[in-house]
Every structure is written in structure tokens, then in C-alpha cells.
Structure 1
Amino acid sequence: MQSSLWLALAGAGVLISFTPGAGAINTMSNSLISGFRRSIWGILGQQAALIVHVVIVALGVGVLVAGSPVAFNVIRYAGAAYLVYLGIRQFLHKPDLDQEKAAALRNEPAWSMFRRGLWVNLLNPKAIVFFLAFMPQFIRPEHPLLPQYAVLTATVVAIDILVMWFFFAAAAKSFQRFTHNARGQTILNRVFGILFVAVGILLALIH
């Protein structure tokens, strides 16, 4: 891939990653509950979903999903429902200042965080449609395709990890003071719960 084309890809990747969405909300929520360092597991789950989306589009399945209203809507509503479920669960979560229970929450298994991040991004058919429009701009069919897809995927994933971890997860640190009392925990739970539900509803309504 030419350096000028890669720079354009990197710039687009930065803009995409900084666009607030379910992944950013999930990352900030994980950082608040489990800490900055452990939030990486949810971020890695989100990247695994991103790689799946790239593979789907590269194999041409994305064209079928984008062209099939039924398939698109099934995935879209499933994703919206999952986000609304996460939001309601977060909203209704009662504050707990018990040190042992708080420690248990902070020590959520890495696989659980990874899996949640995976599903948050995987159940987003708009990502497939987006990559369907985005990827061809940086792929030159006259050159070998596999190396180009590898560079594109590695670039987008690396940028998203950096933005999610060092911007969104780090930004959540400023809210840590709210976690030390019941009122602050309630506020945070309701704020993030509402954000999850709002993103889920938008995913279901916006075409």
C-alpha cells in the first residue's frame, strides 16, 4: 500500500474511532468498573468483532447482508436489543459499597469482558455496511488483495485500540470519584444505562 494511501486510511481510522458509539460507552463502563488496565479485554473483544466484519465484507457476504432487508433487520434488531438489555441492567444495578462485592465486580473474568465487547460490536450490521463502503476506497484490485486487507485491518485495529484505551478508557478515570459513594454510583449507573439504551434505540430506528 502506498504511503499516501496509508496516511489517508490512518486519518479515516482515527475519525472513525473517535466517533462516539456503543464501543466507546462499553469501554468507559468497563474502565470505571474494572479499572483502566483491565478494560483492555473488552476492547480486544470489540476488535475481534471488527476483524470479523472485515472478513465478512472481504468475502463478499457483506454485499448479501446489505442487499437483504430481512437479514439486515434481523441483525440490526438483535444488536439493538442487546444494547438495550445492557443499558437496563446497568440502569437498575444497585450501588454496592461492600468491599468484597466491589472487588468481585472489579475482577470480572477477562473472557466475560472480551465476550461482551465482541457482541457489542458484532451485532452491528451498520458496521458491515460501513466497511462495505469504506474498504474499497483503500483497496487496489490490480494488486494482491490479501496483503492490502492485512494492512487495512492491522491499521484500523491498532488505531481503534489506542483511541479506545488511551482516550475513552482513560477519560473514564475522571469519573472515578463518583464510585466512592452510593449516590455517585447510582448516577453513573443511570447515565451509562441511558447511553446504552439510547444507542440501541438509534441503531433500531435509523436506517
Structure 2
Amino acid sequence: MAPAIWLSLLAATVVICITPGAGAINTMSNALAVGWRRSIWGVLGQELALLAHIVIVAAGVGVLVANTPALFNAIRYIGAAYLVYLGVRLIFTKPQPPAADAEGARRATTRTAMLRRGFWVNLLNPKAIVFFLAFIPQFIDVDAPILPQYLILIATAVGVDVIVMWGFFAVAARPFRRYTETARGQRVLNSVFGALFVGVAALLLFIH
């Protein structure tokens, strides 16, 4: 991949990743619940989904999804329903006691649970597949070896997304951590992030 093409890829990826969405909301929610350091597990789950999207597009399945309205809509509805489920569950989450009990509750949020949630939050977005279907060909030279180009694209996309999610959105949640020390603060934050999940679900359903 030529340096100029890679720089264009890098710039486009930064712009895409910095745009708030379900992944950013999930990352900030995790950072508030378990702290900045452990929130990386949710980010890693999201990166696995991003990798899956790229592989799906590279394998040609993305064309099938994009050209099959019933399949596209089925994935879209499932994804929206999952985000609503996460939002409602967060809104009705019982506030945890401060200090030692809260620390125990944070430990109870396992790495596997965050990894799994991050994966499904990103994977169940068919528009991401369609987006990559339009995005990836702009940076792939079909007359050059394909595999090295895809490896560079994957490394760039995943690397930038980890930096943005963990280095920006997770860090951005840190000033709000003090609100998690009171039951009222937890309820407010849970309600806000729960509503954001539901809002993203609505966008997924109604904005085409």
C-alpha cells in the first residue's frame, strides 16, 4: 500500500472512529462501571466485531447482506433490539453500595461479559458491513497482492479504534466516576447511558 493511500486510510479511519456511536457509549459505560483499565476488555470485544466485519466484506458476504433487504433488516432489528435490551437493563440496574461493596460489584463484571457485550454491540450493525463494503475498496489495489493490503487495513482500523475508544472515550468517562460513589449518581448515569443505547437503537431503525 502506497504511503499516500495509507495516510488517506488513516485519516478516514480516525474520522470514522471518533464519531460517537454504540461502541463509544458501550466503552464509556464500561469505564464508569469497572474503571478505565478494565474497560479495555469491552474495547477488545468491539475490535473482534470490527475484524469480523472486514472479513465478511472481504469474503463477499457483505454484498449478499447489502443486496438482500430481508437479511439486512433482520440483522438491523436484532441489533436494535439488543441495544434496547442493554439500555433498559442499565436503566433498571440497582445502584451498588459505595466503597468495598462497590469494588466487589465491579469485580463481578467479568472480562468475558464485557468482551462478549462489546462484540455483539458492534457486530449486530448491518450498516457497518455496508459501510465497509463501500469503504474498503477505496484503499485496495486489485492489481497488487491483496492479503498484505488487507492486513495493513485491518491493523490500521483496529489500532486506531483501540486508541480512540480506550484512549479517548474511556478516558472521557473518568471525570464522571465520582458520581458512581452515590446511589443517586449511579441512577442518573445509568439512566443517561441507558437512554443513549435506546437512542442509538432508534437511529439504527429509523435512519436509512
TM over 0.5: yes
Name the residue aligned to 1:157: 158
Q: How does 1:1-207 map to 2 (within 5 A)?
A: 1-97=1-97, 99-107=99-107, 108-207=109-208
**CA-atom RMSD in angstroms:** 0.9
Encode CA deviations 1:67-86: one digit per residue, 9 max, x unaligned.
00000001000000000000
Encode CA deviations 1:133-152: one digit per residue, 9 max, x unaligned.
00000000000111101100
Distance 1:103 1:40 in 2: 18
Letter in 1 for 2:179: F
What is the TM-score with the length of structure 1 in the denominator?
0.98
Distance 2:147 2:175 in 1: 42
**How many correspondences in the alignment?**
207
Q: Which runs of 4+ in 1 moved over 2 A?
A: 98-101
Quick check: 98-107 or 197-206, which moved more? Answer: 98-107
Letter in 1 for 2:91: F
* Contact 2:54-2:154 at 8 Å conserved across structures: yes
What displacement does 1:100 show? 5.0
Distance 1:126 1:104 in 2: 38
Question: Counterpart of 1:53 in 2: which secondary structure?
Answer: helix
Distance 2:119 2:105 in 1: 19
Quick check: 35-44 or 174-183, which moved more? Answer: 174-183
Letter in 1 for 2:27: T
What displacement does 1:177 show? 1.4
Letter in 1 for 2:141: R
Quick check: 104-113 or 91-100, which moved more? Answer: 91-100
Extract unaligned runs of 5+ from structure 1.
none
What displacement does 1:131 show? 0.1
Distance 1:105 1:161 in 2: 26
* Contact 2:78-2:124 at 8 Å conserved across structures: yes
Letter in 2 for 1:61: V
Letter in 2 for 1:12: A
Encode CA deviations 1:18-38: one digit per residue, 9 max, x unaligned.
000000000000000010000
Distance 2:144 2:58 in 1: 15
Question: Counterpart of 1:15 in 2: which secondary structure?
Answer: helix
Letter in 2 for 1:150: L
Encode CA deviations 1:68-125: one digit per residue, 9 max, x unaligned.
0000001000000000000000011121215454223311111111000000000000
Quick check: 161-170 or 102-111, which moved more? Answer: 102-111
Distance 1:59 1:49 in 2: 15
